[in-house]
């Protein structure tokens, strides 16, 4: 399910409820488009809103700026991310995510990790459990542009073992092993699930190349992302885009 609206770059009330905290410069353009779309992640519907701005960069190139409002993803993240992180015969780690907060250009994720260490059976299934512990965890993540998507990665993870068992966990170096698993397996999950800005159907012919971007905070603490890119276009392609914008109601260009 999606909804697309477009408008020329006329003065707008940028303090409206939907765009509150979003810098209009992040999606500035001679004409602008807003796309609202629902995307399933792990069978959970997640609403995305993308604000895009287009302007001429050269006779054959368009400059695209886009801002993604990811507060819908932020709200659903604990439900999406909570679950098994690793289920090998030697180690089983289960994540429970409590909160996701944007801070500047980073994302703070808070929760806990429950780990069990077992001996492998001959059939490579978990056998005797020789240790288990629960640690509170805080991770910091960032996003970078790769291709036409934003790929998140974990910058750091801080694990805090609980109580007496936690002290034993530290003593035997198991906290470091849990930390390594969170960084490795969490990084693999994020790399396999990039966030790709959806474009209105009218812009699909552009096939943009995103050059820079990353996570941005929608104050206070809201998750967003900004990308900047360009597209090489022919005169025919420009005509198609403008025709699509006309159908959406864009009848004049801002000066």
* Position with higher pLDDT, 105 vs 249: 105
Decide: 136 and 162 in contact? Cβ < 8 Å. yes
Whole-prediction pTM value?
0.79
Q: Are residues 183 and 123 in the same domain?
A: yes
**pLDDT, tens digit (0-9, with 9 covering 90-100), for 43-85:** 888 898 989 888 888 777 888 898 999 999 999 999 999 999 8
Pick the last residue of a domain from 146, 166, 192.
192
Q: Which structural domain, as residue segments, surrounds residue 15?
A: 2-70+196-248
Domain count, the chain: 2
62 vs 57, 141, 147, 154, 207, CA distance in Å?
5, 31, 17, 33, 11
Q: Are residues 232 and 150 in the same domain?
A: no
In a domain, 255, yes or no: no
Tell me what the mean pLDDT of segment 97-115 comes to.
Answer: 95
Q: Are residues 102 and 175 in the same domain?
A: yes
Within the chain, residue ranges assigned H as helices are 71-81, 163-171, 174-192, 235-248
């Amino acid at each position: 399910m999606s909804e697309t609206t477009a408008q020329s770059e006329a003065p707008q009330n940028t303090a409206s409820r939907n765009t509150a905290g979003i810098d209009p410069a992040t999606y500035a353009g001679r004409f602008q488009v807003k796309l609202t779309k629902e995307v399933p992640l792990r069978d959970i519907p997640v609403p995305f809103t993308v604000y895009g701005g287009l302007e001429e960069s050269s006779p054959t190139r368009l400059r695209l700026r886009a801002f993604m409002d990811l507060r819908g993803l932020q709200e659903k993240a604990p439900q999406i991310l909570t679950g098994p992180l690793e289920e090998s015969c030697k180690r089983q780690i289960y994540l429970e995510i409590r909160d996701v907060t944007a801070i500047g250009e980073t994302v703070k994720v808070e929760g806990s990790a429950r780990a069990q260490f077992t001996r492998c059976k001959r059939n490579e299934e978990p056998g005797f459990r020789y240790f288990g512990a629960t640690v509170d965890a805080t991770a910091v993540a960032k996003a970078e542009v790769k291709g036409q998507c934003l790929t998140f990665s974990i910058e750091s993870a801080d694990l805090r073992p609980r109580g007496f068992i936690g002290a034993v966990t530290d003593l035997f170096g198991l906290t470091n092993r849990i930390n390594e698993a969170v960084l490795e397996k969490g990084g693999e999950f994020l790399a396999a699930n990039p966030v790709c800005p959806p474009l209105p159907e009218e812009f699909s012919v552009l096939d943009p190349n995103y050059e820079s971007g990353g996570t941005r905070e929608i104050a206070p603490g809201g998750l967003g992302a900004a990308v900047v890119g360009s597209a090489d276009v022919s005169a025919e392609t420009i005509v198609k885009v403008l025709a699509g914008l006309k159908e959406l109601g864009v009848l004049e260009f801002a000066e």
